[in-house]
Amino acid sequence: MIGSIRVSNRVFYRGLSLVLPYGLVLAVTLMSLIRLTQGVLSPVDYLTDSLKLGEFGVLYFALAGYELTSMLRKLGGQECLSAIPGAQCGLLFSHILTLLPLLAAWSAVIFGGQAICYFRQGLDYPPYLLHCLLAVILYCLLPGLDGLLLGACLEQVGRPAAYGTIMLAILLSSSVCDELFAGGSLFGVSPMAVFDWFYLTVPNGNWTADASYGVPMELCRWCLAVFWCLVLTAVLLWQYRRDGGRAVSIAAAVLLAAALLCAARFALRGEDDLLLKDSRPGGILSSEYQYRADHPTGDLGAADFSVEEYDLKLTAKGALKVSATVKLSRDDLREYRFTLYHGYEVLSVTDERGEALSFTRDGDFLDISAPDGAKTFTVHYNGKGWKYIANAQAITLPGYFPYYPMPGHLALWADGSAQSVTGLPPARFRVEAATPQTVFSNLPKTGRNQFEGVAETATLYAGLIDETERGGVSYICSPVGREQVESIDLERTERLWQEWCETTGETRTLDLVGKKVFIQPDTISNCGKGDSESVVVFDDHILLANMNSTPETICAYYLLKSLPSDAERGLLRDVFRQDLVVGIGNWSGEKPDYDALQILREYPSMNALNEIGDEEQWFAAVEQYTSASEQFHTLYAWQCSQLGRDTVLREVYQYLKDSTPCQDQVTFLYDLGGAC
């Protein structure tokens, strides 16, 4: 074997035909890493972008593996070796061993880039480095190894066929198929159900990195990468079983069996809570919209009871499993109405005596029948929470989201966006979370991942999260995110709120001082977020889902939170928000023409243009709409210059607050102040 390794090394390093391309790949990798560091990228964005280089590894090592292993056959020396038992097998694995250090070195360069970015940004969060290391192994080292093994498996094949196969493998293992086919379906089946079996490199070019979650590294992804390693190695061993003897055949069989286990685990990934941020039917970008379109919200109504205590035992591994013991304020009712997110399947409900109780599930509603009354229920459920993810990698369970049974039938969705549940009476919470991650909560900590306290709700976060204190405020957020949290001046925020309340006539209070601040993950902001979720205030903590959390944005979103979020007034809401946050300014020129804004009356939002069936008309309409939107902004600025900003703010706010406006947004703004 040592002789074979020596030969393989000499052959590889003395011939330029494989060393030069390695140099090229290394050079491109280094250049890309350096160029990326020059951009203004957060560590996690840098990580996601740099992991795309993993595809280069698949390309190079597949081609190099093929060329190196097939070289002897093309030279006519294979027959000589096949007469010596074990020689071919030994040489083949020597070639693989020759290329492995190069693969490791290249992966190390990519990891080095992460480390440099980490230290350059002055971070002090070691779990992130470990995360980077694992990510490089999963998305660079293992795919490169798979490519290498594939090239070796193609050793007996002619060059055109081998290269064609390798190029096909590269296309399949990259994000190209995801970009092209994720949103479609064939006979009701998403093509990604097939393509996912080959998708080895970092997900989706469009992927906006989530700082709390990091790069997806769920167990099923590891199983997939290992599956291909095992399968390809088994194929290789099988090809050389005659040469290697019985031991090789047995090894191939064992590897194949192990591969099947990995395949089975990957096949069961449908049960896992995965952060699928592409447009596939089950992904978070479209699944909830589809569900809400198919299942309109039922009858809402407050509960005629309250909850005194919650005892929540959560397990977050593949997905969320919960055992929720709920102690009620009264035991004389026959039916108890709760809201529990529809993605969780209720397995059983038992009373304090352990007897099973019947229950019905209708969308987000859970109704429990207790003919003899009950003081305490234990509800066992598991499932997935859409963008409120809970698995071994991260937990994002904000307290306004019913991941545990909340009393009453509550609205979780309205006007195309998620709604937050607030205003519930306080209860005693006892929470125990079984997860490898460290969990952060608004509740006082009593042990590792154990919390207890009295609060309106229990917010649970875990992942690439840390708790920091700045300016006397405790922040729970990701240290490696896009927005490095500067100190949010909560007192100034409260003062600004007072000013805006005086201007707009708003009567709600916004008390922030002394509360913990949870900066929500990007996934919350990027997906189905409405104004309701942007700023959520509880007695003991605040949840912010903005990209830039400043006093202006916090107040603006809190102000808009209470407004109806109908699509017909979406444009005016956006302009109003923009004016609050950055200011629209004044326009002292000509008042925009009313007729130029007609398209906005017909199509109040960009999405409404999709009703246009004809493709040419659609393109024309998009152009017109864009121009009209700009005119709408100008009209707003003109009104500010005419009437004064405060007046405009007040009038617009009152109009937006009205649940049954008498005018469309265009006419209202045009005739601002005029009667209906």
Region 4-23 residues binding another protein, contact defined as CB under 8 A = 4, 6-7, 10-11, 14-18, 20-21
What CA dihedral angle connects 643, 644, 645 and 648, to 10 degrees? -20
Q: At 546, which amino acid appears? A: N
- Nearest CB to another protein, comparing residues 184 and 585: 184
State which of residues 43, 44, 55, 637 lies at the interface with another protein (CB under 8 A).
55
Nearest-approach distance from CB 27 to another protein, in angstroms: 10
Distance CA 375, CA 305 (A): 11
Which tokens sit at 308?
């005194």
Q: In 174-301, where does DSSP find H-type helix?
A: 176-181, 192-195, 219-239, 241-244, 246-267, 287-294
Nearest-approach distance from CB 75 to another protein, in angstroms: 4
Counting other chains too, the contacts that 108-112 makes at CB distance below 8 Å and 24 or more residues apart are: 109/26, 109/29, 109/30, 109/33, 110/29, 110/33, 110/50, 110/51, 110/53, 110/54, 110/136, 110/140, 111/136, 112/33
Q: Does 85 bind another protein (CB under 8 A)?
A: yes
- Nearest CB to another protein, comparing residues 216 and 407: 216
- Nearest CB to another protein, comparing residues 85 and 373: 85
- Nearest CB to another protein, comparing residues 281 and 453: 281
Q: Does 156 bind another protein (CB under 8 A)?
A: no
Q: Does 371 bind another protein (CB under 8 A)?
A: no
DSSP 3-state of 553: helix
- 189: exposed, middle or buried (C-beta count within 10 Å: 0-12, 13-18, 19+)? exposed
Enclosing H/E stretch for 165: helix 159-173
Distance CA 205, CA 192 (A): 15
Counting other chains too, the contacts that 500-505 makes at CB distance below 8 Å and 24 or more residues apart are: 500/555, 500/559, 500/580, 500/649, 503/646, 503/649, 503/650, 504/559, 504/649, 504/650, 504/653, 504/654, 505/650, 505/653, 505/654
Q: Does 293 bind another protein (CB under 8 A)?
A: no
Nearest-approach distance from CB 175 to another protein, in angstroms: 7
State which of residues 101, 112, 184, 644 lies at the interface with another protein (CB under 8 A).
184
Which tokens sit at 649?
């703010």
Scanning 33-41, 114-122, 443-451, 594-602 for contacts with another protein by CB under 8 A, the matching segment is 33-41
State which of residues 127, 205, 282, 453 lies at the interface with another protein (CB under 8 A).
205
The full DSSP string for 184-204 is --BTTB-THHHHTTT--SSS-
Nearest-approach distance from CB 28 to another protein, in angstroms: 6
State which of residues 44, 72, 215, 418 lies at the interface with another protein (CB under 8 A).
72
**Binding to another protein (CB under 8 A): which residues in 89-118?**
90
**Binding to another protein (CB under 8 A): which residues in 306-335?**
none
- Nearest CB to another protein, comparing residues 16 and 676: 16
Report the interhelical angle of 246-267 vs 219-239 (nearest 10°).
Answer: 150
State which of residues 107, 173, 175, 437 lies at the interface with another protein (CB under 8 A).
175
Total residues binding another protein (CB under 8 A): 75
State which of residues 145, 170, 224, 669 lies at the interface with another protein (CB under 8 A).
170
- 517: exposed, middle or buried (C-beta count within 10 Å: 0-12, 13-18, 19+)? buried
Pairing of strands 395-397, 320-328: unpaired
- Nearest CB to another protein, comparing residues 594 and 618: 618
**Binding to another protein (CB under 8 A): which residues in 443-482?**
none
Nearest-approach distance from CB 79 to another protein, in angstroms: 4
**Residue owning tokens 């309340």:** 501
State which of residues 123, 134, 179, 594 lies at the interface with another protein (CB under 8 A).
179
**Binding to another protein (CB under 8 A): which residues in 586-625?**
610, 615-616, 618-619, 622
Scanning 177-185, 260-268, 314-322, 348-356 for contacts with another protein by CB under 8 A, the matching segment is 177-185
State which of residues 33, 42, 44, 67 lies at the interface with another protein (CB under 8 A).
67
State which of residues 43, 44, 60, 284 lies at the interface with another protein (CB under 8 A).
60
Distance CA 163, CA 141 (A): 21
Distance CA 234, CA 240 (A): 10
**Binding to another protein (CB under 8 A): which residues in 229-258?**
242
How far from the centroid of its chain's Cα atoms is residue 492's Cα? 32
Q: Does 121 bind another protein (CB under 8 A)?
A: no
- Nearest CB to another protein, comparing residues 53 and 145: 53
State which of residues 44, 59, 232, 237 lies at the interface with another protein (CB under 8 A).
59
Which tokens sit at 226?
């290992």
Nearest-approach distance from CB 182 to another protein, in angstroms: 9
How far from the centroid of its chain's Cα atoms is residue 151's Cα? 34
Which tokens sit at 515?
């509360």
Count how many Cα atoms sit within 13 Å of the Cα of residue 182 in the half-sphere of its side chain. Answer: 24
Scanning 149-157, 178-186, 469-477, 525-533 for contacts with another protein by CB under 8 A, the matching segment is 178-186
Scanning 24-32, 387-395, 484-492, 510-518 for contacts with another protein by CB under 8 A, the matching segment is 24-32
- Nearest CB to another protein, comparing residues 71 and 458: 71
Nearest-approach distance from CB 538 to another protein, in angstroms: 38
Q: Does 84 bind another protein (CB under 8 A)?
A: yes
DSSP 3-state of 114: helix
Nearest-approach distance from CB 99 to another protein, in angstroms: 14
